[in-house]
Amino acid sequence: MNSSRICFGFLLASMFASGAGAAQDRQVESEKLFSDIYSVLTHPRCLNCHPKGDSPKQGLDAHVHVPPVARGEHDNGVAGLECSACHQTSNYRASGVPGAPNWHLAPVSMAWEGLSPGELCRALLDKSKNGNKDLKGIVDHMTRDELVAWGWAPGIDADGRARETAPIAKPEFDRIVHAWAESGAKCPE
């Protein structure tokens, strides 16, 4: 009787231990996937349009946009000088001005400058900051949005030099984003 109780207890403890271990493995894997995502989201190709202030940034050195432009009430410029004054729906080789559909800044609530991996991850998942997107909405935004995809097809600048693309090839990035979501979309501390 006693020995069977001991065995049952041992079995339960083992199950808990292995369950906790599996959960921990899952957390580690999810965090690792997010660290790859973080390397993309914090590349200037993405970060330049997720600024803290009212000015977009440009270039790998993230300098303030030239000419000076402002975010405006709807994140697409101001009256008389909207983003679409210069940015069309696709890159334009003749002027070197980049373009994609719905060219605009991310809202201030999605400003990523200076955020740690954990902070950025939590902001990404926070519906009060991310435009009320659930996890599927976030995955769709990162994998299907045409403006996001511009980060991998940024065209040439006014001097004819190819802009650096976001790191990690787009199909691989999309796979990582889906895998992160499937792993529970865990965030680092």
List CB contacts of 138: < 8 A, sequence separation 6 or more: 124, 125, 130, 181
CB atoms within 10 A of CB 14: 10
3-class state of residue 97 by DSSP: strand
Contacting range for other proteins; rule: CB under 8 A; set: 81-89, 128-136, 144-152, 178-186: 81-89
Question: Site for other proteins (CB under 8 A): how many residues?
Answer: 23
Q: Which of 1, 4, 61, 68 binds other proteins (CB under 8 A)?
A: 68
Closest CB 53 distance from other proteins, rounded Å: 14
Q: Which of 32, 81, 125, 167 binds other proteins (CB under 8 A)?
A: 81
Asked if 135 interacts with other proteins (CB under 8 A), we say no
Asked if 92 interacts with other proteins (CB under 8 A), we say yes
Q: Which of 4, 5, 61, 66 binds other proteins (CB under 8 A)?
A: 66
147 contacts 106 by C-beta, under 8 angstroms = no
What is the distance, to the nearest Å, from the Cα of residue 153 to the centroid of all Cα atoms in its chain?
Answer: 16
Asked if 78 interacts with other proteins (CB under 8 A), we say yes
Q: Which residue do the tokens 């979501």 mark?
A: 181
Closest CB 50 distance from other proteins, rounded Å: 21
Closest CB 90 distance from other proteins, rounded Å: 8
Q: Which of 70, 125, 156, 185 binds other proteins (CB under 8 A)?
A: 70
Tally DSSP H helices, then E strands, for the chain.
Answer: 6, 4
Asked if 96 interacts with other proteins (CB under 8 A), we say yes
Q: How far is residue 156's CA from residue 104's CA, in Å, rounded to a whole number?
A: 19
162 contacts 97 by C-beta, under 8 angstroms = no
Binding site for other proteins (CB under 8 A): 66-70, 72, 78-82, 84-86, 88-89, 92-97, 158
